[in-house]
Structure 1
Amino acid sequence: MANEAQQKYYIKLQSLLKELPWYVEEYIDHKKRKLSAASLLNYAHDYKIFFNWLLTESLHTDEIKNIPLELLESLTIKQVEGFLNFLQYQLNNKEITVNRKLSALKSLFNYLQNIAETNDLQPYLQRNVMAKVEFNELKDSMETIANKMEGKILLGDEYESFRLFIANDYGQLNKDNKKLLNFHIFNRERDTAIVSLILGSGLRLSEVVNLDIDDIDFTKSSARVVRKGNKEQYVYFSSLAMDDLQEYLSIRANRYKVEKTNKSLFVSAPMGPKGTSRRLSARAIEKLIEKYATAFGKPSLSVHKLRHSFATRYHTEINDVPKLRRQLGHSSIQTTMIYTHIRNDDLKSAVDKMDMPKDEE
């Protein structure tokens, strides 16, 4: 299922590590059992930005990969804060993004000081400047974040309206544009199934992309996914999502000319001289959501906002934060708590309450 995507991330990761100091690769190897290849690649990108900054500040004059541990040990708090200011004011990173990159550096420096050892059992770093640097205090409270999110997600009748718009109304809206109409007719079962699945389960974009047909259990209305940290989990989805998936699968093989060896759940239209289909990419799914969202009159909608929409509806109808946390695959319950602050009183039916096995309710 996710092996194909994981392999691509690992290839990119190995290529990037060749540009970075040896101790970064050692740290990445240490984290491989706990983090996904995608997360490790993000860490490596963050480290490259930091090491490049050291060069631009003339703190090191050789290649990045030759930056010594001694330099890290000698960095001052003022220099690190200069890097964080660079992220925020020159790269225009949001405070939460700056915190994430600082967290990646804190994790690396902690490894170098408290876990890694030399041959004579000494830590790589005696002094850890990152331990002295505090995270940005985020200005927005959970309630403020929730209120901002509220205007950008689907609420109430909009869930079904958006689904029906993709299944039917988008084509009617573009009936005078033969190219758009034909493209919609060709893909509407697939596109409806994608949106219905996200709205009926809260899956992440990467989890939807990596799904294979064999990952869907049609008897239990569940999907096997690999979550952050390479954790395998079975995630339930709604009966409506099940209906839309089955309708899509009834046309998938013939319409998309799918080879028997291609087990990808969501596939692209046939391409190339041989006219074969391939796994639908993350960017392709993002673009199709953007297309429908704009035409629907809610351009702020994205794959992630559909996930937020599911979470809001689930919490409103079921009001069980620990269960919602598991459904979404959040590592921290604090992340899930955001949805308890979103006001959504006009819903008429539960997302999945009737479909949940008794031992999951």
Structure 2
Amino acid sequence: MLKIEVNKVKETLGARASRISTKIFHNDEDARFLEFVKHDYEKELPEKSRKLIYFKRDKERDFAILSLFLGSGIRVYELSNLRLRDLDFEENQIHVLRKGGKKDVVAVSPPSMQDIKDYLAVRSERYRGSNDDTAYVFLTRVNDGATPLSNRAIEALVKKYMKAFKSNKSMSPHKLMHTYGTNLMEQSGDIHLLMTQLGHTSTTTAALYTNPEQEKAKKAAKKLGERRTNYREKD
């Protein structure tokens, strides 16, 4: 059989960082997105429709999931594997299992922890889930019982709300993680803090969230353009 050689397209760190930057929330977009889900999403659903019924049942759960992604930077499999024992409301942190089964502790924004509390207040009634410490946090109803939300279901949930938000971005849980990472770097400027929070072991990977060389290049190009404009004005 004839083998067709496929050349993989390679990209620099700057190109990858720039590509990621176009696919995440910037400025206050993440806050506006959460406000939309909490206050405006259901207004777009037909009255007495099944979609509206399910949304009202799942509103606190779905909002807590979106809020946790944007308030901690965890990955979808880390979120789906959360147990009740992993939630630490006193310290505003959660215990997660990283890739390879490594245990880690992640700081969470206080508003996101409050959103989880709001969900837990209705969790047993809505999903008939156990309150045992080993029980999964995020559940869905199946017949008369509860089952943990799958990674695929969580990914579909994120895409559903993003589509309704009318954003031109195709958002996934991974892009929400990138949004958090970018926001954290802008707030702290600490790449080692970023690595700890996101569970990165490579500074190269973490550098995707901060690309000062790209910003320098943009500023330099702007100055060169101004130099040309000023020269024309002298003539």
TM superposition score category, shorter chain reference: 0.7 to 0.9
1:328 and 1:280 mapped to 2: Cα distance?
Answer: 22
Ranked by relative contact order (alpha carbons within 8 Å, sequence separation 6 or more), the top structure is 2
Which residue is equivalent to 1:285?
154
1:303 and 1:165 mapped to 2: Cα distance?
Answer: 17
Which structure has the highest strand share of the two? Answer: 2
Secondary structure, counterpart of 2:62 in structure 1:
helix
Which residue is equivalent to 1:188?
59
Which residue is equivalent to 1:217?
88
Which residue is equivalent to 2:225?
none
What percent identity do the matched residue pairs reach? 34
Secondary structure, counterpart of 1:225 in structure 2:
strand
Alignment of 1:95-110 (within 5 A): 95=8
1:251 and 1:317 mapped to 2: Cα distance?
Answer: 34
Aligned length, in residue pairs: 212
CA contact (8 A) 1:259 1:276 kept: no
CA contact (8 A) 2:84 2:131 kept: no
CA distance change for structure 1 residues 237 and 260 in 2, over 3 Å: closer, same or farther?
A: closer
2:201 and 2:160 mapped to 1: Cα distance?
Answer: 31
Which residue is equivalent to 1:264?
136
What's the CA shift string for 1:44-79, capped at 9, x where partnerless?
xxxxxxxxxxxx78xxxxxxxxxxxxxxxxxxxxxx
State the one-letter code of the partner of 1:156: N
Q: Tell me the TM-score normalized by structure 1.
A: 0.55
State the one-letter code of the partner of 2:105: Y
Which residue is equivalent to 1:250?
121
Q: 1:238 aligns with which of 106, 109, 114?
A: 109
Q: 1:338 aligns with which of 208, 212, 216?
A: 208
Q: 1:316 aligns with which of 164, 183, 186?
A: 186
Which residue is equivalent to 1:140?
11
What's the CA shift string for 1:3-42, capped at 9, x where partnerless?
xxxxxxxxxxxxxxxxxxxxxxxxxxxxxxxxxxxxxxxx
Long gaps (5+) in structure 2: 216-235
Which residue is equivalent to 1:296?
165
Long gaps (5+) in structure 1: 1-55, 58-81, 90-94, 96-137, 345-361
What's the CA shift string for 1:186-225, capped at 9, x where partnerless?
1111011001111011001110000001101111111111
Which residue is equivalent to 1:165?
36
